[in-house]
A = this chain, B = another copy of it.
Amino acid sequence: MNKDDIQENLIKIGRNIVQEKGPDFLTARKLSEASGYSVGTIYNQFGNMDNYILIQNYITLDTLYHNLIKVQKNSSYEKLNEYIRIFAEFVLQNRFLWHMLFNFHLNCTDRLFSVTYLRRVSMIISLFEKNLTDLYQGLEFKKRHAFVEVLWITLFALSSLLTTSALETYSKINATKICELLLNTYLAGIKVSERIG
C-alpha cells in the first residue's frame, strides 16, 4: 500500500474515533489498534502525534470553509448572519473535532503553523470582511479591518465555549442565539461608529 493511502486511512479512522469518543481517545496505541497498523508506522507517517492532530485540525478548518462558501444570500447582512449560523451549527455538530482544534497547543513560531492554520483562517476572515465592506462603506479600511479581526477572534474564542458543557452551566441561552446576539449587537455598534466617523 502506498504512503498516501496509509495516511488517508489513518486520518479517516482517527476522525471516526474523535467524532464518536472524543479527542482523549485519539492516542497512538488506539489508532494503531483501530487501523491495524503498528504504532511505529503512525510515527513514520506523521512524525509525531502533534503533527497528526495538526493535520486533522486543518481538515476541520477546510470543511468549515467549504460549508461557508456555499452560502447563497442576497444582502451582505443576510450573508453575515448565515455565516454565523453555519459556523455555530458546524461547531456544535463537530464539537469533538472543534474541541481538538481549539485546544491544540501549537507552537506558533513553527512555519508549519502559518501554512496550515493561518492561511485557512485568513480565508475565513476574508469572507466576513468582504461582506462587512459592502455593509459599511463609510468605514475606512483600517478601521473596518480591525472590526473584522475582532469579530472573528471573538467568534472563534466563543466557539470554544460552545463545545463544552460549561456553557450550559454559565448560561441558559442557546449557543446559536449567543452568536446571533453577539453578531447583531456588534454590527449595530459598528453602524454607530460609522456614523460618528
Please give the residue numbers on chain A whose beta carbons come within 8 Å of chain B beta carbons, in ascending order. Answer: 103, 106, 108-109, 113-114, 117-118, 121, 146-147, 149-150, 152-154, 156-161, 164-171, 173, 178, 181-182, 184-193
A184 touches B189 (CB 8 A): yes
Q: Considering residues A108, A156, A168, A189, which has the most beta carbons from chain B within 10 angstroms of its beta carbon?
A: A189
Q: Decide if the interface of chain A is mainly helix, strand, loop or mixed.
A: helix
A153 touches B149 (CB 8 A): no
In the assembled complex, the Cα of A158 lies from the Cα of B121 at a distance in Å of 16
A170 touches B149 (CB 8 A): yes
In the assembled complex, the Cα of A160 lies from the Cα of B187 at a distance in Å of 23
A150 touches B169 (CB 8 A): no
5 closest A-B pairs (Cβ-Cβ)?
A189-B189, A185-B189, A188-B189, A157-B157, A188-B192
Taking CB atoms, residues of chain B closer than 8 Å to A188 are 188-189, 192-193
B150 touches A173 (CB 8 A): yes
A156 touches B147 (CB 8 A): no
- Select one of B150, B164, B166, B191 contacting A182, CB under 8 A: B150
B169 touches A113 (CB 8 A): yes
Taking CB atoms, residues of chain B closer than 8 Å to A169 are 108, 113-114, 117-118
Taking CB atoms, residues of chain B closer than 8 Å to A152 are 170
For this complex, 7 residue pairs linking A to B, each with C-beta atoms less than 8 Å apart, are A103-B103, A149-B170, A150-B173, A156-B170, A157-B158, A188-B188, A189-B190
A185 touches B190 (CB 8 A): yes
Taking CB atoms, residues of chain B closer than 8 Å to A160 are 157, 160
In the assembled complex, the Cα of A181 lies from the Cα of B148 at a distance in Å of 11
A118 touches B191 (CB 8 A): no
A153 touches B158 (CB 8 A): yes
In the assembled complex, the Cα of A190 lies from the Cα of B160 at a distance in Å of 24
